[in-house]
Structure 1
């Protein structure tokens, strides 16, 4: 049977059908495809509705999806005791009232798209609404706000909940809230004095901070504290530190923790460089045991720098948690508090731009040797640096209230393939060169790779080499070519 992933619509024969002034496609699918769709369970990204549903309830569902992570709404599906059944509109124009209501929530083509699904032998047309994660808060025609939570369309009514939603959308930021601390904490600190000497050498601290809107009504905002207080953790405890852990295995467990966790604190500029240096130091000191003895693992410094910088710049500072960096023998994990802001998703994160903390991004870029040299390109740079070393790209996952980036030390190609590709452009290769090329730290394991390639008639011993200079070349064919 043809399978569907979450968020996918059935693919089939496409026609177009005008409905209510809008031009929607009619997609013809098979009965088997329809059965696969109806076998899915409603949840955070999927909702089925009866065609007789009140327009107001459809508006709630689309508002909820757009204000959360997006999702798919299918209208024309009955829920029976035995499961879901197909019961579509006799004519697409019968859905006009629903379509007009949805247009009031979000204009079609902005955050939502629609199509009609038709399966030969099944009754009527099912209206499929694809709602995307919106840049703005989407309200129902009566002015109410909903958010998708699991399989429910939950109303967002309290001031705190609306504020949290606005922050998630990037419409406002915790970084611009004022702090109940004395102004001297940011105007008479070592951090602000060093910054102004290099960035704005003719300005007094208080004057500069006021002009940059980092002082409001005589009080520093959160961004000012994070950037220019010598110890921002004193007034934002558990909200702006970095914890680094090293484990002696591939699993996270207390008994595998090597030493005590390292805590990185201080103003953000110093934090970034201290965290990168300490992470690199811990990785360099780590030697992991496999069947061939101890081996070391190296990661691209550039990738670690960019991912850690990105975590510091774009984390949600309203969440009471630190950034966590976990070093395992086969990967490094960087976990940053807060979900992705606004319309940013795992799928578009490398292409779209939205800064949750624009004050932090702007001012850190003004420091000497700024950690965010190419503004908005951090993760792209990390991906490129992994690609240069032929390593798998970082994995990005969104958790309930955090974003996790996983950097694995795994080659895209097998060690044997890397050796052969190397010999296509180089005369020969030695064991030491192969170890550096493949990341395989064991001399004996590389020797086994060579032996397997010899048996496969891919390589051979290079004549005239022996001892420490023993080398291999591509196997010559009968005509002398390789």
Structure 2
């Protein structure tokens, strides 16, 4: 543990923090149970920090609140509360702080708690979770859901009351799958050896149903299909008027579900046309590997404890895949491409035994998506957690700078409007697109088309001022006369003035 001396300003900044989901203050007089409660609550939620040695003083200066321990040894019970008195120990880092010029105020202990992949309980067996700026006690049912969401327990092992091991062993998909394996194994033996059922109760487990049942939702009594919808728009928040046709619901064993979903999404994508910098409309396309990996991850790693379908929406300029369940265990948006954690290890492992497994390179799925998008010169996918869902957005937005795309279009067209330029570049805002035009104008490359204003406003390459008979005035192969203009650079203040 480190000991550090803060300046008075640093201490005041620390004391000015408001208590929140990730931060709290505790008195040096706090009992071991209070320390246990907040430590476990933060570890059970998203992690955070708390400072022990600060009082809730209503009068005097802010520094009067700093009332720490006379010595570091006086705070040893804090470490015991987080390591020995809770089960299991909370993952923490501790740092002792004192304030320069206020040494008599003592040492405060700064505790940094990491989000934990397991559920922690205080000494009396109670479980707390950090919610906003408080520590909430949860009941037995909530504890089960907490363990499942963390990956400490996996819902794929849940037994299904009305679906038996014998029924699972008779599924056609299981027979087809076993026909590809060597050495040959009888269906009943495979179900038993792979723990796809409880041999004592005779009940099949969810993992077996997801992998091999003809209709997983029917036997799991939870929605676990895929819905695919087409929206004829580019807006961020579409409504019903943008929906084209009726969304398709796909229900099948996991391997077939992935195959059929990829085919349906590809079919919808191929029906969309996009404007290219050449001025021609071409069929919309995404790297097949990118789409496949995102869909595979959604099916294999979704939270089957949540009764909802995977929803895939195909827009004019993007594909969104919304999968039930937040990131499991220690996974975060920051370590998504570097760490691994399987929410459904049995499903992940057994689907990999197919002759052409969709998860061939385990742990490489989203990395493959990133690489394939970069290879296609498209922007990388966006990852987000929205409520209780993980969302991946694949955009059809070129990596090339908008200025380059505009000039490429003008190389074969007389003019370009704001609307066409936004179609080409993937920029949604008219004002942002204007800034691109202004940048090109300020370097002397383009100019407004005379006589066109308002909604008809357009831009063109700077027109020739040389004689029509000079070779410089004619673009090779186009017959259109251009002046070779040397870009001129303006100061930032002049550019801002022109805007």
Q: 2: CA distance between counterparts of 1:178 and 1:108? A: 27
Q: 2: CA distance between counterparts of 1:413 and 1:335? A: 28
- TM-score, normalised to structure 1, is 0.78
Tell me, yes or no, if the aligned pair for 1:339 and 1:401 is still in contact at 8 Å: yes
- Does residue 87 (structure 1) correspond to residue 66 (structure 2)? The answer is yes
Q: 1:449 to 1:355 in 2, by over 3 A?
A: same
Aligned to 1:234: 218
Q: CA deviation at 1:373?
A: 0.8
Which of 70, 73, 78 is 1:98 aligned to?
78
- TM-score, normalised to structure 2, is 0.75
Q: 2: CA distance between counterparts of 1:60 and 1:369? A: 49
Aligned to 2:254: 268
Mapping of 1:115-130 within 5 angstroms?
A: 115-120=95-100, 123-130=105-112
Mapping of 1:86-165 within 5 angstroms?
A: 86-89=65-68, 90-104=70-84, 111-120=91-100, 123-158=105-140, 160-165=141-146
Aligned to 1:169: 150
Mapping of 1:30-429 within 5 angstroms?
A: 31=9, 33-80=10-57, 86-89=65-68, 90-104=70-84, 111-120=91-100, 123-158=105-140, 160-179=141-160, 180-200=162-182, 202-217=184-199, 218-247=202-231, 248-250=233-235, 251-287=237-273, 297-416=284-403
Deviations 1:298-357 (A, max 9, x none): 332211211111111111111111111122334322111122222222222222222111
Greater CA deviation, 101-110 or 392-401? 101-110
Tell me how many residue pairs correspond in the alignment.
Answer: 437
Q: 1:260 to 1:100 in 2, by over 3 A?
A: same
Q: 1:430 to 1:41 in 2, by over 3 A?
A: same
Tell me, yes or no, if the aligned pair for 1:296 and 1:441 is still in contact at 8 Å: no
Deviations 1:190-231 (A, max 9, x none): 211221122346222112221111122232211111111111
Deviations 1:2-50 (A, max 9, x none): xxxxxxxxxxxxxxxxxxxxx224153561x444444433222222222
Q: 2: CA distance between counterparts of 1:230 and 1:94? A: 64
Aligned to 2:4: 26
Tell me, yes or no, if the aligned pair for 1:88 and 1:124 is still in contact at 8 Å: yes
Q: CA deviation at 1:267?
A: 0.7
Q: CA deviation at 1:372?
A: 0.6
Q: 2: CA distance between counterparts of 1:470 and 1:119? A: 73
Q: CA deviation at 1:410?
A: 2.9
Q: 2: CA distance between counterparts of 1:109 and 1:25? A: 23
Q: 1:56 to 1:275 in 2, by over 3 A?
A: same
Tell me, yes or no, if the aligned pair for 1:170 and 1:342 is still in contact at 8 Å: yes
Q: CA deviation at 1:61?
A: 0.5
Tell me, yes or no, if the aligned pair for 1:178 and 1:222 is still in contact at 8 Å: yes
Q: CA deviation at 1:154?
A: 2.1
Q: 2: CA distance between counterparts of 1:315 and 1:116? A: 41
What secondary structure does 1:356 align onto?
coil
Q: CA deviation at 1:417?
A: 5.1
Runs (5+) with no aligned partner, structure 1: 1-22, 423-428, 433-437, 477-482
Q: CA RMSD in A?
A: 4.1
Q: 1:103 to 1:469 in 2, by over 3 A?
A: farther
Q: 2: CA distance between counterparts of 1:393 and 1:449? A: 27
Q: CA deviation at 1:463?
A: 8.2
Tell me, yes or no, if the aligned pair for 1:63 and 1:105 is still in contact at 8 Å: no
